[in-house]
Structure 1
Amino acid sequence: MAAAEQRTGDRARYAQLLEHAGRTTVALRAAPGAADARLWGSGVLIAPGWVLTCAHVLAASDGRRRETGPEGVFGVAFGGRVEPARLVYDLSRPAPEAGPGAARADLALVRLLDPEADHPCAWLSDQPATLLEDAYIFRGHDRSGGADGPDVPGGRDRPDGPERPAAGKRVLRESAVRGPAGAPGPSAAVDPFIAVRFGARDARGLQFGSDVRVSPGASGGPLIDCDRGEVVGIVKGRHQQDHVGLAVPVTALRGLGPEHLVAGAEGLGPEPYHALMGLHDRWHWTGQDLARAGGPTWFDAQHAVMAGRGRLWGVQERLQALDLLARLPAPRDPLLVEAAVDEALERGARPGAWSLRTWRDGHGALYQGSDPYTELRAFVHYLRIVAQRTADEVRDVPGEEAAAVREGTARLAEFVQAKAVVLQPQDRRRIGPVRRRPRSVLVEFEPLFYDENGHELYNWSVSEGYGRGQWLRVDVQESAGGVPFEEAREQVLRGLGGRLLRADGDAGPGARVRLEVAVPEGRWHTAAGRWEVAASTRRTARRRPVGPGRAVVLRDQGRREEVDPAWLRRWQGMTAAPALTALRIPPTGAGVRPGGSAETIWRLLETAEDGALPALCRTVADGFGRDAVGVALDTGFPAGLWPARGHGEDRECDAGCEEFHRGVRELLQGSGGLVRLPELVRQLRAKAAEAAEEGSHWARDLILLYDDPEDPLPPLFPDRPQVSPG
């Protein structure tokens, strides 16, 4: 009896949620005033002026685009009216220049043309869908009640005759739940269905039971998880072979990018997913404003569903947290979101383990089914990390935009402080400090002058890097006279192993910070990857090569805080290029005669495509190789590859050179772009260190120039006499 009463109570709580779901479900059809008012399919209002649907809903059964009005206008029916709208983003057809690996999903975003159109919005889940207990499908209604079930790639809305309740399904009538706004009358069926449980998720998307028949026109409508009170999927149809229902998970929206913008449409800027979800989250927070008159909101319905579950991080905490995160800029790298999640969950770094794009996505990854206290601690820790990381990015940046970001991080920090008061003292101590986490350790050799024997003398420094040109010097050699390069290097190596290990510990569990070595012209053959440093902090620790265990890159000391436009432009082009290709210098068969060859190399580099990466098999210590690297730097190249012991001008290229260039080509194939290159070179060095064959020496002393203009070197020591190497 108690169980039956509990189920009855659940249904009562769901009624308010289903009412909101019905009001946010829309019908897509021809433009207002068109003669053909048949239903194309459904959609769901998710942000002010924005409708989410399936891309195939906007195509007829033969795959062609629906007939629309001028400039692609069609109708969106809700609230007893039909609003004009236009397709803006199509995730099913990325632009060709986006490359073969671009995200694809049967999703589309439609914008209402009236910016003042008033409407409700559904709540999109910030976490992946799991096992469903009670889930409902909603279908939009047109004014005439007509339906036209479109074909679905791999599945179909099947008009199989009069709608009858199937096993495991209930049809709620107007007496139970009000229908979607725009329904033809009080006798119309609302047509939400209780779907069977599902745990299956494959390349086709979410699957629900074959006993739940998707009614015609339901494609594009929301799949509601009543247990969480959220939209977890967009209904796609029913698969023709095995007859399971299919839905696209709303987390597939994370693939939304500027490449999905339809030609001629006005989009959401360079980070459309971040912008869209920001509009969504801020709308829901504003809906709870005391000064805002209105009836119950989606949040109110969620709160009723979730009440009494003993959660310390409930829907109200989520609502405010996501609003605060929406006011921060998008993270500059999704890996930062993954790292923050791993740290909050006290896990080792696992690059690529999550599919996370924004701080909102990271929030959704923290629901781990743990006890309420552990879950609260994870959320507080994560938000504390986000607040400090974002504040660090703009700490010394001038301007109103940076000031607004600092204000946003301060508000987030205040919210975190308020939620942390119930944590145990040891947890508050651990979370409170949130140390700045280094991304790299920089060793820089500063040329001073030449002694009476013509030997160049150096000072050196070691800094920790936090990105965006933020550095902290942690070790300095400030001898007035300087020391020869070899001695300066040995002085650095005595303490470098411990410094790297301490930076690893500060960076987080399992982290290995990058070693960057900045050298002046004439030292570009410095094989820092083969340096041997202490393997532990023991006083008698053995030395091990640094290159196989962590990324090691070379930087040019001549480029620092003043960023050359050509350097920045080339960096942006290379990072955006879908693939990298080796650019052999000099080209096969080119001569190396003085004078003529330099002009040839200059033209070759200036006209190179964005994905071209210079590769030299000759020594860069002097002669042609040194000149070629200088030309590459002058033309803006931020990256290049060469062996530390390349051959000189006294001999032509041989079989060893061909092996080197072949290996570079294989390294770049499927590399995943420039940002992945330091780690790929590390992996190659590790394999070469384990190989016994002498022929792999080219990989053991491979040098990667990797000079990021968005993270320029720190200023040189003040009041130092500077000379150019002769």
Structure 2
Amino acid sequence: MTARLEQLASRATVRIGPYDAPGELWGSGFLVAPGWVLTCAHVLPLGQDVESIGELRVQGHQLDAPARLAYRLGGGTDPDQDLALVRLPDAPPPHACVRLTDHYDPPHRVTALGWRTPKGGRPQSWSGHSECNGRDGPYGLTLAPHMEIPHGASGGPLLDRDRGVVAGIVKARRANKDGGLAVAVTALRGFRAARPVGDEDTLGPDPYAALIRAHDLWHRRAVGGTSWVRTQSDTGRGGERAWGPRDSAEASALLAALPRPDSPAVLQRTIALVLGYEPLWEDELAPLDWRDGQGWVHDEPDGADIIALHYLLAVAHLCRDRSPDAVAELEHWIKTRVQALPDYLGALLRSRTEDTDALDAGCGADDDQGPVVAVELEPDPYRPGDRFHWRVWSWPDGPETARVLEEDEADEGVPLTELPQALDEPLGRAFRQFDAEGRLTRLELALPVEHFGTHVHTWPLGARREVVLRCLKRRGEPAAAWRDRWGGLAVSDLKPLPVQPDYAQEALATAPPGAVPVLCRPPRQSEGPLAETIGAGYGVALWSLKNEHARACGTDCGELYGTAARLLDSAARATAVPERLRLLREKNDETDWTHHIALLYDDPRRPIPLRDDVLDSP
């Protein structure tokens, strides 16, 4: 298999140079989809003006064609930035394409391919055998000193000789040493943020998904001598039940016809449900498209075919309403594949998919089971003022999925006024992971009651998304009163409960199950009633952020209570209140009361876990 696949890889490996100098070699590349060449960005003389590079020349097996730089990642030489896509003409001549791995773990035995120019000679093809002996960051693959990578070979494919797929892109040789460095194929996921060059934005809003789907569809159609999958299958490893190259290629092509996942979080939740545990993927390697999910079945010691088919059924369920025809084709293929299994294994698959109906691609606000990101703000105990240590939590799915994403490493904490800037990048990374099409992830801030006057919903990171407050003291197992009050909201109509400072305790203790406390004074005038609201177990409450008054209530208080009543009436259920408030803020200008009230939304089904350590400062 290796020799034959090396021949196919060689046919798909091209050399790149200036169009008007066919004998000049800048570097190598390889064809990954019809009309698309992947290479390292550093082999191209980009300079400061990327647009000025002009027309390129791509040459290889029965190929000599003009080309243009279409996309590049960043501009650095780090592995995750050193990639570029070159586009051949709209109707390129027939050519071979390599098959890209869907594995996550690095390869072992590898063959590097590319082009080189002997001194005084014309470019000629080159290959060398080595081993991958380590990783350098999330995408860098180090190559053992079994070969010397020549100048010109950068950008060529790195073939995994054990699995028969391309696992990386040859990057560089090591200075004064044999061996070198390659870029893992998983770095292609960065092309979601690739920058088109000029007017070459032909892959649309998600270049990674468009490219990898074109790649998978090509390999399903390829026949005869250019069929990579056929060569893999002829001498593939594994027994009768193995999830082989043909299975993987067919499934990948069927997945390519489906709409993209609503968000990476939806995909990751599906994988975790199928596997029965949550994989410990690094952020940079987290799956983005349906094909990426297939890669996890390879690491399962037993029953890879059962797990793969279960995964495909789960994806079909998620996409059925949006793409019924493509899902029908996928389900027909799954049915055919299941019929080849022994009866007891078919029954096992059916038992494992009984909970598939629990999946929901939208994870809408009606049942409040979608992803949530929370920021825990702990006051620094050693310094006066409003300095905080922060920790970002996420709940990708239900209550049992809480995990820490990032946390503050500053010894002295961060001033409250600087928190929007300090949290911008970590929250941006979290939101990119969990935001779905048509639904932005809710932001929850857990902080002390004395800071409930913070205008969190006006921070840039809160724009256009639900923003709610939580009480920092409610970490860990919920108290009975908290659970009882929350349960009452689920079975009763929501009604505003005006809370006056002098009568707060009595009003809170005797209120009906659907009561939602509304405080007409800002927190610095009603810190006591707010604390009593928390102590009485209320999980939803509203208060004014601007209406300071020392004496009797006035017309502003009446307007606030009216706004609260309309909000609660429109929400109908407690789980819909955050979204209703967001919509009203979006609909009304900044003079409206909805922009000057804060919302406590503290769900006891998803408490912030107790710390297993204590934030400390020297």
Indicate which of 353, 356, 359 corresponds to 1:434. Answer: 356
Alpha-carbon distance in 1 for matches of 2:338, 2:400: 23
Alpha-carbon distance in 1 for matches of 2:260, 2:237: 32
Alpha-carbon distance in 2 for matches of 1:90, 1:640: 42
Greater CA radius of gyration, 1 or 2? Answer: 1
CA displacement at 1:368 relative to structure 2: 0.8
CA displacement at 1:16 relative to structure 2: 0.9
Cα–Cα, structure 1 residues 542 and 64, in superposed 2: closer, same or farther, change >3 Å? Answer: closer
**Is residue 290 of structure 2 the alignment partner of residue 359 of structure 1?**
yes
Please list, as runs of the form range in 1=range in 2, the aligned pairs for 1:472-621 lying within 5 A after superposition. 510=401, 542-544=480-482, 617-618=545-546
Unaligned ranges ≥5, structure 2: 372-394, 404-433, 435-440, 445-456, 458-466, 496-542, 549-555, 565-580
Residue in 2 that maps onto 1:576 = none
Q: Report the number of matched residues.
A: 442
Cα–Cα, structure 1 residues 644 and 20, in superposed 2: closer, same or farther, change >3 Å? Answer: closer
Residue in 2 that maps onto 1:79 = 61
2:265–2:396 Cα contact (<8 Å) kept: no
Cα–Cα, structure 1 residues 516 and 126, in superposed 2: closer, same or farther, change >3 Å? Answer: closer
Q: Which amino acid aligns with 2:212?
A: M
Q: Secondary structure at the match of 1:194?
A: strand
Alpha-carbon distance in 1 for matches of 2:88, 2:144: 34
CA displacement at 1:436 relative to structure 2: 3.1
2:173–2:179 Cα contact (<8 Å) kept: yes
Please list, as runs of the form range in 1=range in 2, the aligned pairs for 1:167-566 lying within 5 A after superposition. 190-202=125-137, 205-240=140-175, 244-288=179-223, 294-307=224-237, 312-348=242-278, 355-371=286-302, 374-392=303-321, 394=322, 405-421=323-339, 422=341, 423-432=345-354, 434-437=356-359, 464=367, 510=401, 542-544=480-482
Q: Which amino acid aligns with 1:384?
A: L
Alpha-carbon distance in 2 for matches of 1:244, 1:547: 65
Alpha-carbon distance in 2 for matches of 1:515, 1:53: 39
Cα–Cα, structure 1 residues 24 and 103, in superposed 2: closer, same or farther, change >3 Å? Answer: closer
Q: Which amino acid aligns with 2:233?
A: H
Alpha-carbon distance in 1 for matches of 2:79, 2:484: 36
CA displacement at 1:351 relative to structure 2: 8.5
Indicate which of 26, 42, 49 corresponds to 2:14. Answer: 26
Q: What's the TM-score once normalised by structure 2's chain length?
A: 0.61
Cα–Cα, structure 1 residues 311 and 197, in superposed 2: closer, same or farther, change >3 Å? Answer: farther
Q: Which amino acid aligns with 2:234?
A: A
Q: Secondary structure at the match of 2:38?
A: strand
Q: Which amino acid aligns with 1:73?
A: E
2:230–2:246 Cα contact (<8 Å) kept: no
1:440–1:516 Cα contact (<8 Å) kept: no
**Is residue 38 of structure 2 the alignment partner of residue 109 of structure 1?**
no
CA displacement at 1:313 relative to structure 2: 0.7
Residue in 2 that maps onto 1:582 = none
Q: Secondary structure at the match of 1:216?
A: coil
**Is residue 112 of structure 2 the alignment partner of residue 137 of structure 1?**
yes
Alpha-carbon distance in 1 for matches of 2:468, 2:587: 19
Alpha-carbon distance in 1 for matches of 2:158, 2:588: 56
Q: What's the TM-score once normalised by structure 1's chain length?
A: 0.52
Residue in 1 that maps onto 2:29 = 43
CA displacement at 1:92 relative to structure 2: 2.9
2:96–2:226 Cα contact (<8 Å) kept: no
CA displacement at 1:312 relative to structure 2: 1.9
**Is residue 588 of structure 2 the alignment partner of residue 634 of structure 1?**
yes
Q: Per-residue CA shift, 1:632-664, capped at 9, x if unaligned?
A: 542499x9795459xxxxxxxxxxxxxxxxxxx
Q: Secondary structure at the match of 1:138?
A: strand
Q: Secondary structure at the match of 2:318?
A: helix
Residue in 1 that maps onto 2:42 = 56
1:437–1:506 Cα contact (<8 Å) kept: no
Q: Per-residue CA shift, 1:368-403, capped at 9, x if unaligned?
A: 1512xx2112101111110001114x3xxxxxxxxx
Q: Which amino acid aligns with 2:337?
A: K
2:130–2:145 Cα contact (<8 Å) kept: no
CA displacement at 1:120 relative to structure 2: 1.0
Cα–Cα, structure 1 residues 425 and 65, in superposed 2: closer, same or farther, change >3 Å? Answer: same
Q: Per-residue CA shift, 1:198-227, capped at 9, x if unaligned?
A: 233426711011342101210000000111
Residue in 1 that maps onto 2:502 = none
2:310–2:349 Cα contact (<8 Å) kept: no
Q: Secondary structure at the match of 2:200?
A: coil
Q: Secondary structure at the match of 1:137?
A: strand
Unaligned ranges ≥5, structure 1: 1-12, 95-101, 149-161, 163-182, 289-293, 395-404, 443-462, 469-503, 518-523, 558-614, 646-676, 692-726
Alpha-carbon distance in 2 for matches of 1:348, 1:616: 41
Q: Which amino acid aligns with 2:143?
A: F
Q: Secondary structure at the match of 1:191?
A: strand
Alpha-carbon distance in 2 for matches of 1:464, 1:67: 49
Q: Per-residue CA shift, 1:130-174, capped at 9, x if unaligned?
A: 2412x1111136xxx5679xxxxxxxxxxxxx9xxxxxxxxxxxx
Cα–Cα, structure 1 residues 18 and 318, in superposed 2: closer, same or farther, change >3 Å? Answer: same
Q: Which amino acid aligns with 2:104?
A: P
Alpha-carbon distance in 1 for matches of 2:585, 2:442: 25
Residue in 2 that maps onto 1:491 = none
CA displacement at 1:435 relative to structure 2: 1.3
CA displacement at 1:325 relative to structure 2: 0.2
Q: Which amino acid aligns with 1:282?
A: L
Q: Which amino acid aligns with 2:259?
A: P
Alpha-carbon distance in 2 for matches of 1:686, 1:264: 49
Identity of aligned residues (%): 30
Residue in 2 that maps onto 1:15 = 3
Residue in 2 that maps onto 1:587 = none
Q: Per-residue CA shift, 1:419-473, capped at 9, x if unaligned?
A: 334225244223155113357686xxxxxxxxxxxxxxxxxxxx536889xxxxx
Alpha-carbon distance in 1 for matches of 2:22, 2:92: 26
In angstroms, what is the RMSD of aligned CA positions? 4.8
Residue in 1 that maps onto 2:72 = 90
Q: Secondary structure at the match of 1:306?
A: coil
Q: Per-residue CA shift, 1:59-107, capped at 9, x if unaligned?
A: 27xx5679977xx11100012442000001001339xxxxxxx994210
Residue in 2 that maps onto 1:723 = none
Q: Secondary structure at the match of 2:14?
A: strand
Cα–Cα, structure 1 residues 440 and 106, in superposed 2: closer, same or farther, change >3 Å? Answer: closer
Residue in 2 that maps onto 1:660 = none
CA displacement at 1:299 relative to structure 2: 1.2
1:54–1:106 Cα contact (<8 Å) kept: yes
1:232–1:250 Cα contact (<8 Å) kept: yes
Alpha-carbon distance in 1 for matches of 2:307, 2:267: 14
Cα–Cα, structure 1 residues 59 and 505, in superposed 2: closer, same or farther, change >3 Å? Answer: closer
1:128–1:249 Cα contact (<8 Å) kept: no
Alpha-carbon distance in 2 for matches of 1:206, 1:85: 29
Q: Which amino acid aligns with 2:35?
A: G
Q: Which amino acid aligns with 1:276?
A: L
Please list, as runs of the form range in 1=range in 2, the aligned pairs for 1:573-722 lying within 5 A after superposition. 617-618=545-546, 622=557, 633-635=587-589, 643=598
Alpha-carbon distance in 1 for matches of 2:442, 2:485: 9
